[in-house]
């Protein structure tokens, strides 16, 4: 069934694309491609046809029922649109990933860019993954948990709050809320919600977000700006506005001609636009820039430290992780959480500045001196599998559990066990 484009959108795109308009329309008559990005700490290559601009992205020949796939719930992969995985190129080409970085994903839910970052950053880097809408922040936290890393904080704060962290971040990612023109093929509802008034509203919102977060980017820091829309008002015009008001150096990214990614230049602004009739993906726009303005950097003042677990509890938990010597165990009421030693002061400081939804990896509940394993620890990439009894579920059993059916497993076995499917933990322990 052909998509009925809004008249004003069609008029603009005909002017923009010229003879290529018919190709653009034809592309929207085709089904969207199915693509995933694997978690390199949990899965191995290959799984399908490789997405050329990502080391971890693949096209699938058909769309499986993802919600009934234990591997998805195990955090072995993330379902993500192929064009947006070009974000990997923007990070790789602008950032020294061997360094310990402070990174902010400002508009992060549901977690595509954040989980991608966790696969790219080293373990001594801190990722703050933020979402303004509280309900979406919880979904974000769940997806970060599935990815299995302890060097992330999930926050629920307005962009203006980050002005307190002047010069703090080495990298800021703004995947801005937008009018969604690039999603028309995937989401028919997007066409009915589109309007020129909404474009203007989105553009103003994007400017406010950029203005609010700009002071928290350090001098020579990198900002990655992206949208899933085509219009200049939300893309090039916003970037030119930012350049007129701040000290910016736009960064040219290397692309291969066969990728058919369109380089956009508008004044000093440089961006990259993805059209579905030219690339194997949906509509997308991305730009990378460097801050040249001087910016005083806030000093870390941990002040109120976390409440650390007792020596006895910490020793009990050492065998649960493969790298326990690099972790601290903190206590939040009855919940025990692991965070990297190197990031202890950073996380303690940020927890006094922002509204934190989750931090590190939840390890266990402490109930009357008994340790009750947490679901998040079962998904952690540093989990010591040899420390736990394992119950391997068949695909049928796994699907039954996902449907919330009762299962009788581990008959006669006492204590806690790790539930796996094809050797990968994907759910919390059972008693």
Residue 429: per-residue pLDDT: 42
Residue 107 falls in the annotated catalytic set: no
Q: What is the CATH number of domain 305-379?
A: 3.10.450.720
The residue ranges of every structural domain in the chain are: 7-291, 305-379, 388-431
Residue 132: per-residue pLDDT: 96
Residue 427: per-residue pLDDT: 53
pTM of the full predicted structure?
A: 0.96
From CA 324, how far away is CA 338, in angstroms rounded? 9
Residue 79: per-residue pLDDT: 97
Would you write out the chain's pLDDT as a tens digit for each of its 431 residues? 578 999 999 999 999 999 999 999 999 999 999 999 999 999 876 678 999 999 999 999 999 999 889 999 999 999 999 999 999 999 999 999 999 999 999 999 999 999 999 999 999 999 999 999 999 999 999 999 999 999 999 999 999 999 999 999 999 999 999 999 999 998 888 899 999 999 999 999 999 999 999 999 999 999 999 999 999 999 999 999 999 999 999 999 999 999 999 999 999 999 999 999 999 999 999 999 999 999 899 988 766 679 999 999 999 999 999 999 999 999 999 999 999 999 999 999 999 999 999 999 999 999 988 999 999 999 999 999 899 888 889 999 888 887 878 877 766 667 788 888 888 886 544 33
248: β partners: 291
Residue 421: per-residue pLDDT: 87
* Fold agreement (7-291, 305-379): no
Catalytic residue among 107, 178, 202, 228: 228
From CA 217, how far away is CA 233, in angstroms rounded? 24
DSSP codes of every residue in 130-156: E-SSHHHHHHHHHHHHHHT-SSEEEE-
- State both tokens at 103: 């990174």
Q: What is the CATH number of domain 7-291?
A: 3.40.50.150
DSSP 8: H
Q: Which residues 6+ apart lie within 8 Å of 17 measured at CB? A: 23, 24, 275
């Amino acid at each position: 069934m052909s998509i009925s484009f809004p008249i004003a959108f069609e008029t603009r795109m005909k002017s923009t694309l010229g003879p290529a308009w018919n190709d653009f329309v034809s592309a929207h008559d085709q089904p969207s491609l199915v693509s995933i990005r694997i978690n390199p700490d949990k899965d191995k290559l290959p799984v399908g046809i490789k997405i050329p601009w990502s080391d971890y992205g693949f096209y699938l020949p058909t769309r499986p029922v993802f919600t009934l796939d234990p591997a998805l719930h195990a955090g072995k992969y993330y379902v993500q649109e192929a064009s947006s995985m070009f974000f990997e190129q923007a990070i790789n080409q602008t950032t020294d990933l061997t360094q310990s970085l402070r990174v902010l994903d400002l508009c992060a839910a549901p977690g595509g860019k954040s989980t991608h970052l966790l696969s790219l950053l080293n373990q001594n880097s801190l990722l703050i993954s933020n979402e303004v809408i509280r309900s979406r922040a919880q979904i974000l936290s769940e997806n970060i948990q599935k990815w299995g890393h302890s060097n992330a904080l999930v926050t629920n704060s307005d962009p203006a709050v980050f002005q307190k962290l002047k010069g703090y971040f080495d990298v800021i990612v703004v995947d801005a809320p937008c009018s969604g023109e690039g999603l028309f093929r995937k989401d028919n509802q997007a066409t009915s919600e589109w309007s020129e008034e909404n474009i203007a509203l989105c553009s103003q919102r994007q400017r406010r977000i950029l203005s609010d977060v700009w002071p928290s980017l350090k001098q020579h820091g990198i900002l990655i700006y992206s949208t899933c829309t085509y219009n200049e008002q939300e893309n090039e015009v916003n970037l030119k506005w930012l350049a007129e008001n701040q000290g910016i150096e736009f960064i040219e990214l290397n692309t291969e001609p066969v990728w058919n990614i369109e380089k956009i230049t508008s004044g000093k602004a440089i961006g990259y636009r993805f059209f579905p009739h030219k690339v194997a993906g949906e509509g997308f726009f991305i730009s990378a820039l460097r801050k040249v303005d001087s910016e005083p950097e806030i000093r870390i003042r941990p002040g109120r430290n976390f409440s650390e677990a007792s020596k006895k509890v910490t020793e009990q938990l050492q065998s649960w992780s493969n790298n326990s010597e690099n972790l601290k165990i903190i206590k939040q009421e009855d919940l025990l959480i692991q965070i990297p030693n190197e990031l202890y002061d950073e996380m303690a400081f940020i927890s006094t500045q922002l509204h934190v939804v989750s931090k590190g990896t939840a390890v266990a509940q402490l109930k009357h001196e008994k340790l009750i394993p947490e679901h998040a620890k079962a998904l952690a990439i540093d989990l010591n599998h040899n420390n736990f009894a394992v119950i391997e579920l068949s695909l049928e059993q796994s699907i039954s559990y996902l449907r919330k059916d009762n299962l009788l497993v581990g008959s006669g076995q006492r204590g806690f066990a790790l539930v796996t499917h094809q050797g990968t933990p994907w759910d919390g322990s059972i008693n």
